[in-house]
Structure 1
């Protein structure tokens, strides 16, 4: 069975995968797996850009999103009589003839991967470039990825990567065959300084504690006085800063529902 494995940490946001998908499918008829994609309005491979934090503590991450080619696709319904089907290799295909006029299929996908082609009156989506796969090739998006962030092949081939991967919205129970490594998470960041000396403070011990689980993480401020806690989940946290010669500093509750820059924190020197 075929799978996609996407390493988000390797993606540099070139949008090459999105562009070559358009090049492969606009004005090209790959029947019986796909009719031509419109020039505008559809991105069967779509790169989602997310900006985390605020200046100067900012991270930009890119997540490539094709059809998830689920094992239990919400778009396959008995009443549609084969308008959408799953191939033996795992790729999910919308039959452009049987699906004609079935605009309601657009709303069946919780990932928003199905589009409506008004001119042809058919729902359309990523096919995993099934026409290329049948020739022994990989999808165009994978072939074009300069950083090898996108991989495609047999599940067994990528078992080590899959073991450390995550699924998009696993709670839906659809069992996607697109696996993500290093999916974006939230961060808490800031900097520590001495206002009297007007200098940053290196090697301050910063502790972040999850108020729900009581789990704690510790780091030290770097040569610029900066500190980062990366890849944390949303929740409520406490932050404590300690440095030799300074009074401890505490934030008793931080509501982290998005990446948070707590700013420049001044420590008071001991007398």
Structure 2
């Protein structure tokens, strides 16, 4: 059976918040019986874009993370709810019933992703339900996907086997690293949120003129194992990304035309900038 999945590309998101605004436009002041009660005008964001930073000046990387209901195949909210308050549809979508869920704050508390909001006025747990009322009406994708100007969001209605193949081919990950809840929201380039980078800038002084070293070969090693091999850019900058945080000692080796070879070691915790590395002219 074909089921709904969402794919978010961290590298393609610019943080415009169009997806957030589209959901607010759909649900603020609007009731959809059987699907969702109206969203509060203030204080609730059923779809949120979180700004995440790595590194420190002058090497800072900013990326954005899509936060919303993950439409888990084993949803904790379903287990927490009583009387059919939460249902998992055959097409993969999780829906919190706007009538049956009233007064059941434990549903909001059960979500490990913080994606279920508690509406104090209505005494109702609420979430983004994949715009189920729209896809049931024949829409090809929910509003956040249609509102995204960069294509960072994709909605896929495919079989589970097809989705596993897509995830493998594109290197997709979920926020549920242990696989306990089996979410249906997948992330591409998630390393920009969960992992760290290391890099630096190569310079050389010739005849009292300091210049950037472009095209230098830079190798990153951990023990005797080669982790990465790259070239410095026109500004002398180099970077190795998608490294495990707090993963111990690494070694940088630099070879550049007209310069003496250079090597140094460092301990990797969070993202690490080696600063300006001045090579000796040969």
| Superposed pair shares fold, TM > 0.5 | yes
1:256 counterpart = 2:261: no
Q: Report the 3-state secondary structure (helix = DSSP H, G, I; strand = E; otherwise coil) of the residue aligned with 1:76.
A: helix
Deviation (angstroms), 1:43: 1.1
Q: Report the 3-state secondary structure (helix = DSSP H, G, I; strand = E; otherwise coil) of the residue aligned with 1:175.
A: coil
Candidates 142, 146, 153, aligned match of 2:145: 142
Aligned CA distance change for structure 1 residues 47 and 78 (closer, same or farther; 3 Å): closer
Deviation (angstroms), 1:20: 0.8
Deviates further, 235-244 or 118-127: 235-244
Q: TM-score, normalised by structure 1?
A: 0.90
Candidates 237, 244, 249, aligned match of 1:226: 237
Deviation (angstroms), 1:174: 0.7
Whether the aligned pair in 1 keeps the contact of 2:69 and 2:115 (CA below 8 Å) is: yes
Q: Which residue of 2 aligns with 1:216?
A: 227
In 1: Cα distance, 2:138 partner to 2:226 partner: 48
Q: Report the 3-state secondary structure (helix = DSSP H, G, I; strand = E; otherwise coil) of the residue aligned with 1:19.
A: helix
In structure 2, stretches of 5+ residues that fail to align are none
1:182 counterpart = 2:189: yes
Q: TM-score, normalised by structure 2?
A: 0.87
Aligned CA distance change for structure 1 residues 78 and 38 (closer, same or farther; 3 Å): closer
Q: Report the 3-state secondary structure (helix = DSSP H, G, I; strand = E; otherwise coil) of the residue aligned with 2:275.
A: strand
Q: Report the 3-state secondary structure (helix = DSSP H, G, I; strand = E; otherwise coil) of the residue aligned with 1:77.
A: helix
Candidates 170, 173, 186, aligned match of 2:180: 173
Count of aligned residue pairs for this structure pair: 268
In 1: Cα distance, 2:242 partner to 2:149 partner: 25
Deviation (angstroms), 1:197: 3.3
Residues 94-130 of structure 1: CA deviation (Å, up to 9, x unaligned): 1122211111222211111011000000111110011
In 2: Cα distance, 1:85 partner to 1:134 partner: 15
Q: Report the 3-state secondary structure (helix = DSSP H, G, I; strand = E; otherwise coil) of the residue aligned with 1:38.
A: coil
Q: Which residue of 2 aligns with 1:15?
A: 17
In 2: Cα distance, 1:20 partner to 1:181 partner: 22
Deviation (angstroms), 1:89: 0.9
Matched ranges for 1:90-101 at <5 A: 90-101=92-103
In 1: Cα distance, 2:152 partner to 2:165 partner: 15
In 1: Cα distance, 2:42 partner to 2:225 partner: 49
Deviation (angstroms), 1:84: 1.2
Candidates 162, 166, 189, aligned match of 2:167: 162
Deviation (angstroms), 1:160: 5.5
Deviation (angstroms), 1:145: 1.1
Whether the aligned pair in 2 keeps the contact of 1:70 and 1:175 (CA below 8 Å) is: yes
Q: RMSD over aligned Cα, in angstroms?
A: 2.1
Deviation (angstroms), 1:139: 1.1
Q: Which residue of 2 aligns with 1:243?
A: 256
Deviation (angstroms), 1:67: 0.6
Aligned CA distance change for structure 1 residues 254 and 88 (closer, same or farther; 3 Å): same
Deviation (angstroms), 1:251: 3.0
In 1: Cα distance, 2:7 partner to 2:214 partner: 39
